[in-house]
Chain A
Amino acid sequence: MKSILGKKVGMTQIFNDKGEAIPVTVIEAGPCYVTQVKTVERDGYRAVQLGFEETKEQRLTRGERGHLEKNQLPPLRHLREFRIGSDEEVKEGDRILVDVFEEGDWVDVIGVSKGRGFAGVVKRHGFGGGPKTHGQSDRQRAPGSIGACAYPGRVWKGQRMAGRMGGARVTAQNLRVELVDPERNLLAVRGSVPGANGGLVMIKAARKSKELAKRRGE
C-alpha cells in the first residue's frame, strides 16, 4: 500500500547521477500504524486509517485512547484516512514505513497551505492592480470594477474579491520520489510541497501519473 503520513522538514537540493542539482522537499515519513480498516460491508467503502507520531497519552481524549488501545497501539497524534483498492491487503495494527516507496515513484502530497490571513485581490487572485502614475491615488492594489450597470444590477456570484487566503487543503500532484532513507525515515520528493515546515503531510501514489495512464491504456 503506497500511502504514508509524514512531517515536512524543509527544502534543499541533491545531485542526481547525471550531476544535475534537483530541488527537493525532505519529509520525515512514518513509522505509521494502521489504526482502522474500513470495509465495504461495514462502512460502504474501502479505506485505511493511518496514525502517525507517538505522543503522550495525556494529550489524547479518552475516545482516541480507546480507539487505539483496541489494537494495542501507542498514543498517536495524527489520524488520517486513505482510500485503498480492492486488491490491497492490510490489517489493523500493521506498521507502515517509508520503504513502501522507492526512488522514481510518482506521488501526490497533500498538506495544509500556509495561512495568509485576509488577503487583497492582487495577492489572492493575481490581479494587476491599478496604475501607479498619472494622478492616481489609493488605486495601486485596488480590484477595479466588480460588475456592469443596470444589467445585471448586482454583483455576479463567484466574483473574485479580497478575503481569507491559505490554510486550505492543497494537493501537489505528480512529484517524483528522489530519495528514500529507511534508516532515518526520510523521503525526498522533487519540488515544493504545501504547508509550513513541521506541518503534517499525506503522501500517496499519484492519481494522474503518466506511467499509470500508460498502463491503463494498454
Chain B
Amino acid sequence: MNLIESLERQQIEKAGREVPDLRPGDTVRVHARIVEGERERVQVFQGTVIRLRRGGVNANFTVRRIASHGVGVERSFLLHSPRIEKIEVLRRAHVRRAQLYYLRERRGKQARLREKRTR
C-alpha cells in the first residue's frame, strides 16, 4: 500500500461513518449537515443516484430528484464527507448502465426505474 492510499484510508476512517453500498439507480435519502452562519442543521435530500464515482476519499455521487413544478434538481456529494450525517438506501432499481444521464430527458412515467428484487 502506498503512502497516498494509506493517508486516504486514514481520512476515511477519521470520518468514522458507516458507508453504505451505493449503486446507480438507488433511491437514497441523504442527511447533509448545512452550516448557516452560526447555526448548523441537517437537511434531507431524497432522490435517485444517477452517478457514482469511486476513488478513495474523492469518491462522490450525484442524486437527482424532481422538485416542485417538475423541475429536476441534482446535487453531488462526497461519499466520505464529514458533512454527511447518514445515507439511507430506500430502494434499489434494475439499471443497465453506470451513468443514468438519460433520466434527465425523461419525465413522469418514463423516468421510472424497475425495482431490483433481492432474495
Contact = CB atoms under 8 A, between A and B. Distances in A.
Contact of B56 (A12, A18, A186): A12
A201 to B, nearest CB: 15
B8 A12 contact: yes
B33 A15 contact: no
Contact of B33 (A11, A13, A19): A19
Contacts of B8: 12
**A interface, size bucket:** 10 to 19
B14 A15 contact: yes
Contacts, number: 42
9 contacts: A9-B4, A10-B3, A12-B7, A12-B57, A12-B58, A13-B58, A14-B11, A18-B35, A188-B7
Interface in A74-98: none
B93 interface: no
B26 to A, nearest CB: 23
A13 B7 CA distance: 9
Given A19-B33, A26-B3, A26-B4, A14 B82 contact: no
A9 B57 CA distance: 17
B3 A28 contact: yes
A155 interface: no
A15 B56 contact: no
Nearest to B5: A12
Interface in B1-50: 3-4, 7-8, 11, 14-15, 33, 35
A14 B8 CA distance: 8
A9 B3 contact: yes
A157 interface: no
Given A10-B3, A12-B11, A15-B14, 5 more contacts: A13-B11, A15-B11, A15-B57, A15-B82, A26-B7
Interface of A: 9-15, 18-19, 21, 26, 28, 184, 186, 188
Interface string B47-70: 000000000111000000000000
Contacts of B3: 9-10, 26, 28, 184, 186
A19 B83 CA distance: 6
A14 B57 contact: yes
A10 to B, nearest CB: 5
A15 B3 CA distance: 17
A15 B81 contact: yes
B78 interface: yes
B90 to A, nearest CB: 25
A11 B58 CA distance: 11
Given A21-B78, A21-B81, A15 B7 contact: no
